[in-house]
């Protein structure tokens, strides 16, 4: 039997490449930095952080699979090349992947860092599914997506510290990442239709202001990383302001995703963990390379 190249029968098992595309695997490089930044801000950066980062990645991938499952009818018209409408991954398989990764992420968090971490992971999972299934296309969509990232940063702070004030200590970093996510989600809603120049111009101004809040007079590491973030994401938004086509908006969204590790690294360095901040930021160039292979949006 002759099959069309790049497509698998709906009844067959999805290929690894198709699953990689389904969960936007390279985009997950933007996730561990949330946990590291939260842990650094809370003073609980230790061996548990790596396990919580793995849990966070599982929940991120779950959200991507659930997103495509929820959008399968819209994607059949707007993005027929995606795994589900193209027939390479069945809706049932995508839903199973999303459910399995969700259960795995919450379980890993609880096993690694205790009941409070499990509770934060469960709240994050609920926020992700609510966004994908009900909230995404409403006016509250960008705020709901920002909440997911806020909870992801707080997941890093969820292990109990000596003074047990870890979660409040991580809140400023969480809100900073949440603000970035809010801007990114506003742009992403125009990936297919394009936008007027006022949208990318507004998000560009907010991006520069956001990067400035991370800087301080002394501390070259976080200043350099914040500038790197602003330049990477900002230049793409500037291009979209000059040409607010769908392609330019998609490029700006992709840049926002791949530049996020630089912001997370700046926040981590701001908390005093400069080495960890540089390690987090190192994911930015790698994610840009991988984004040329698999789209992060």
For residue 232, name the pLDDT band (cuts at 50, 70, 90): very high
pLDDT at 291 over 90: no
**CB–CB of 156/109 below 8 Å?**
no
Please tell me the predicted confidence (pLDDT) of residue 284: 81
- 16 CB-contact burial (10 Å; exposed 0-12 / middle 13-18 / buried 19+): exposed
Cα 69 to Cα 9, 63, 66, 197, distances in angstroms: 17, 10, 5, 31
Reported as a single tens digit per residue, the pLDDT across 245-265 is: 999 999 999 899 889 999 999
pLDDT at 238 over 70: yes
Mean pLDDT of 240-247: 95
pLDDT at 162 over 70: no
Please tell me the predicted confidence (pLDDT) of residue 294: 67
Mean pLDDT of 70-93: 92
Please tell me the predicted confidence (pLDDT) of residue 2: 33
Residue 96 φ then ψ, to 5°: -65, -40
Q: Give percent above pLDDT 90 in the chain.
A: 77
pLDDT at 5 over 60: no
Cα torsion at 144, 203, 32, 135 (round to 10°)? 20
The DSSP letter of residue 86 is T
- The model's pTM: 0.90
Please tell me the predicted confidence (pLDDT) of residue 4: 37
Spell out the domain ranges in the chain.
16-160+169-291
Reported as a single tens digit per residue, the pLDDT across 123-157 is: 999 999 999 999 999 999 999 999 999 999 999 99
For residue 84, name the pLDDT band (cuts at 50, 70, 90): very high
Please give the residue that has the higher pLDDT: either 226 or 286: 226
């Amino acid at each position: 039997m002759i099959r069309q190249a790049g497509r698998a029968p709906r009844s067959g098992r999805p290929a690894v490449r198709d699953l990689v595309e389904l969960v936007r695997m390279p985009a997950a490089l933007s996730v561990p930095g949330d946990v590291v930044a939260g842990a650094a801000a809370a003073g609980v950066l230790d061996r548990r952080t790596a396990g919580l980062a793995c849990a966070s990645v599982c929940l991120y991938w779950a959200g991507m699979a659930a997103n495509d499952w929820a959008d399968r009818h819209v994607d059949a018209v707007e993005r027929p090349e995606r795994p589900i409408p193209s027939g390479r991954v069945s809706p049932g398989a995508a839903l199973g992947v999303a459910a399995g990764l969700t259960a795995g992420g919450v379980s890993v968090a609880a096993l690694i860092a205790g009941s409070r971490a499990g509770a934060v992971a469960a709240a994050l999972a609920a926020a992700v599914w609510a966004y994908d299934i009900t909230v995404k296309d409403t006016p509250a969509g960008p705020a709901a997506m920002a909440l997911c990232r806020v909870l992801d940063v707080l997941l890093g702070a969820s292990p109990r510290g000596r003074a047990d004030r870890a979660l409040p200590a991580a809140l400023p970093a969480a809100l900073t990442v949440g603000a970035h996510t809010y801007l990114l989600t506003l742009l992403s809603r125009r990936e297919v239709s394009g936008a007027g120049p006022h949208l990318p111009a507004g998000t560009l101004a907010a991006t520069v202001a956001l990067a400035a809040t991370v800087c301080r007079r002394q501390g070259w590491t976080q200043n350099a990383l914040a500038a790197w973030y602003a330049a990477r994401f900002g230049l793409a938004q500037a291009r979209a302001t000059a040409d607010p086509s769908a392609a330019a908006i998609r490029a700006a969204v992709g840049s926002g995703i791949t530049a996020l590790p630089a912001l997370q690294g700046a926040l981590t360095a701001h908390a005093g963990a400069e080495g960890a901040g540089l390690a987090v930021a190192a994911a930015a160039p790698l994610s840009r390379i991988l984004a040329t292979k698999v789209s992060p949006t």
